[in-house]
Amino acid sequence: MLDGDGSLDGPTAVALFLAKEHARTSGKTEVARSALAWYFDLIGCQANPARDPIPVAISQGSLRRAPPVVHHDKETEDEIKLIFQSFTGPSLPMSDHRIGTVLTLMFSAFLRVSEVVVSKRSDVKFDSSHVWLNIRKSKTDQLGKAERRPVAQSGGPFCAVSNLERWLARVPQATFLFPCISTVQSTATKPMSVDLVRAELRRVLQVCGITRSLTPHSFRGGAATLAIEKGVPTRAVMAMGRWASTGGFAPYVEVNAKTLAGADRLL
């Protein structure tokens, strides 16, 4: 464990660091180990100390001890339709139409709030049946490569694609899909902030009479739950929402009679 000069060897130093991280954060150990492994690979370490069996065992053990991930209330189909009715349309104030479009697009495209606020007008391409979104900032994308996903036109009264087209017609000079609209200059160059989305969501819930404690993440979870309820294969839902693992995906789907898909009726 000790080198000739009395200092710790690489794997031992990494193991002690990870143990301290686990005590401090209660569950972020694997993230820290992966970051160290990436760094040691980057600088050309032939024997990467973060890949040594002892640090790996510590990080795996911390995963088993970590509290389970819980995503609370999911947005329902009725609730997103109520928001669509109340907060979309070209005759509404700009701020109302903007937040309504943000929320319906987050639901329809399984977007995280951090992804929707950085989206630019140039990231959106319409064809005869879909809008294609270039998702710039994906949590599961460690290499910084954008991912493309389609949202289909429904042709019905709750079509997120048609509403997005109407919204874009109102901000023709905006760089970002959802700009800050406080001034002409900010509309052209600045995006809506994550904090503003959260604040506006609270206003939307109050106006619509929705009393549950919904967050921006509720829309991603609601979309996943509704897709599973409608019989969309799990792998397709994960691909649409860019979930890399079933463990990461499972907390987003509410367990109910529909998502159990007959598992509650065996006899």
pLDDT at 63 over 90: no
pLDDT in tens, 96-110: 999 999 999 999 999
Q: How confident is the model at residue 189 (pLDDT cuts 50, 70, 90)?
A: confident
Q: What pLDDT score was predicted for residue 68?
A: 54
User: Whole-number mean pLDDT of the chain?
Assistant: 87
What's the CA dihedral at 147, 163, 108, 205 to 10 degrees? Answer: 130
As its CATH architecture, domain 77-252 has: Orthogonal Bundle (1.10)
> Which of 95, 140, 97 minimizes the C-alpha distance to 115?
140
pLDDT in tens, 190-246: 999 999 999 999 999 999 999 998 999 999 999 999 999 999 999 999 999 999 889
Q: Which residues is 148 bridged to in the sheet? A: 134
pLDDT at 28 over 80: no
Which residues have C-beta within 8 Å of that of residue 263, sequence separation ≥ 6?
none
Q: What pLDDT score was predicted for residue 2?
A: 37
Instruction: Please name the residue that has the structure tokens 């109407």.
Output: 166
Q: How confident is the model at residue 54 (pLDDT cuts 50, 70, 90)?
A: confident
Q: How confident is the model at residue 34 (pLDDT cuts 50, 70, 90)?
A: confident
Q: Rounded to two decimals, what is the model's pTM? A: 0.73
Tokens coding 87:
């907060």
Q: What pLDDT score was predicted for residue 1?
A: 43
> Which of 119, 118, 82 minimizes the C-alpha distance to 100?
82
